């Protein structure tokens, strides 16, 4: 058993915001020196996402193969890694080091005691601006100063009131289109929980690629983070949502990732198609009822309240 399920996104932060930066930037001749890895959660974030996840895909040649076939996308993602009322929000950009090597990206992320939707709403804008400003940083000291300023800005935002409604304004057509994706996610998680009670499984999470029809990564991340929170999964595993800019899908990793889960970062829909599951009709009807309840709450602007107050999981497959 790793420390991930015990410690990840469970540390006492005492009202602080911790901002970390790692990866590649021209101010360094190689990888960025560790910046802001002040919590074990952020140390694990770099290890799982970057040192193991991204590095493994590069070392294996998996991304080289899809580049040759024209099925690779560039690094340009926003992500939300949440667990109950603690979240990491961040961005992944294509970048290079001082020697012009471009295989590894740059990653900036912030950890705080806040629900996923609020972190997405308040943190992603300043993090994006930090990414833009970093292009003018020519020394490690200038880069670190940008991190310090971002941390101070996010701290002020964290302790400011937020009246933003995290629900997505979806048309009836969009709700009909996204309903099968909600069913796939819930049914897939149900199958994982059921199997784990009867047989050994890989010590990791579950990866899903689902179509998403909302405009902008913020709305996509908010919608899927709220749905995962509303399900109220047993043991409240960390849930990672990754939205590539300008692409019609979202990647979700529930539980502890394994290295190959991050193949999704550069794979388009041909290299990594959307998740499809064969679902028995009785389970499908039960899951659809729950999904429609969530969509109804979203339409009424109550998605955040529902995700905080109600867990559908215990009754989802016992109706």
C-alpha–C-alpha distance, residues 37 and 20, integer Å: 6
Domain assignment of residue 259, given as a range: 1-319
Angle at 296 between CA 292 and CA 301, to 5 degrees: 145
Provide the whole-model pTM: 0.91
pLDDT exceeds 80 at position 229:
yes
Question: Which residue, 260, 211, 214, 205, is CA-closest to 233?
Answer: 205
Q: pLDDT-based confidence at 311, cuts 50/70/90?
A: low
Which of 123, 99, 125 is closest to 112 using CA atoms? 123
CB contact set of 275 (below 8 Å; sequence gap of 6+): 184, 185, 188, 207, 208, 209, 210
- CA 163 → CA 90, 123, 167, distances in Å? 22, 15, 12
Q: In this structure, are residues 226 and 257 in contact, taking their beta carbons and an 8 Å threshold?
A: no
The helix/strand/coil state of 246 is coil
**Could you report the per-residue pLDDT of 131-156, keeping only the tens digit for each?**
999 999 999 999 999 999 999 999 99
> What is the reported pLDDT for 232?
85
Cα–Cα distance for residue pair 55/104, rounded to 1 Å: 8
Portion of the chain with pLDDT greater than 90, in percent: 67
For the segment 239-270, what is each residue's pLDDT rounded down to a tens digit? 999 999 999 999 999 999 999 999 999 999 99
What is the three-class DSSP state of 109?
Answer: strand
> What does the pLDDT look like over 172-223, one tens digit per residue?
888 888 999 999 999 999 877 544 433 434 445 689 999 987 888 998 999 9
CB 116 within 8 A of CB 151: no
pLDDT of the residue at 197? 38
Query: In the chain, how many domains are there?
Result: 1
Residues comprising the chain, all counted: 319
Lowest mean pLDDT among 37-46, 226-235, 252-261: 226-235
In the predicted structure, residue 304 carries a pLDDT above the cut 90: no
């Amino acid at each position: 058993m790793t420390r991930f399920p015990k410690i990840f996104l469970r540390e006492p932060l005492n009202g602080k915001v911790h901002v970390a930066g790692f990866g590649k930037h021209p101010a360094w001749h190689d990888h960025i020196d560790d910046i802001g890895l002040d919590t074990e959660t952020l140390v694990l974030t770099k290890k799982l996402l970057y040192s193991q996840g991204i590095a493994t895909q590069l070392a294996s040649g998996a991304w080289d193969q899809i580049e040759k076939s024209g099925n690779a996308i560039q690094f340009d993602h926003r992500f939300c890694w949440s667990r109950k009322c603690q979240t990491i929000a961040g961005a992944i950009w294509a970048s290079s080091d001082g020697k012009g090597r471009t295989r590894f990206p740059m990653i900036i992320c912030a950890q705080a005691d806040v629900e996923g939707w609020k972190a997405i709403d308040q943190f992603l804008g300043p993090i994006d601006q930090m990414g833009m400003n970093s292009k003018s940083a020519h020394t490690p000291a200038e880069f670190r100063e940008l991190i310090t300023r971002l941390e101070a800005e996010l701290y002020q935002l964290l302790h400011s009131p937020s009246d933003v409604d995290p629900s997505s304004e979806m048309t009836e057509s969009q709700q009909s289109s996204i309903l099968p994706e909600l069913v796939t996610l819930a049914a897939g998680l149900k199958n994982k929980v059921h199997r784990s009670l009867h047989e050994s499984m890989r010590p990791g999470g579950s990866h899903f690629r689902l179509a998403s029809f909302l405009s902008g990564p913020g709305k996509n991340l908010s919608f899927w983070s709220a749905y995962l929170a509303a399900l109220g999964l047993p043991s409240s595993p960390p849930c990672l949502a990754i939205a590539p800019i300008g692409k019609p899908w979202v990647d979700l990793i529930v539980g502890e990732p394994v290295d190959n889960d991050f193949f999704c970062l550069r794979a388009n829909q041909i290299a990594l198609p959307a998740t499809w599951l064969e679902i028995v009709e009785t389970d499908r009807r039960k899951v659809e009822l729950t999904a429609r309840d969530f969509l109804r709450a979203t339409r009424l602007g109550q998605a955040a309240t529902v995700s905080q107050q109600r867990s559908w999981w215990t009754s989802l497959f016992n109706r």
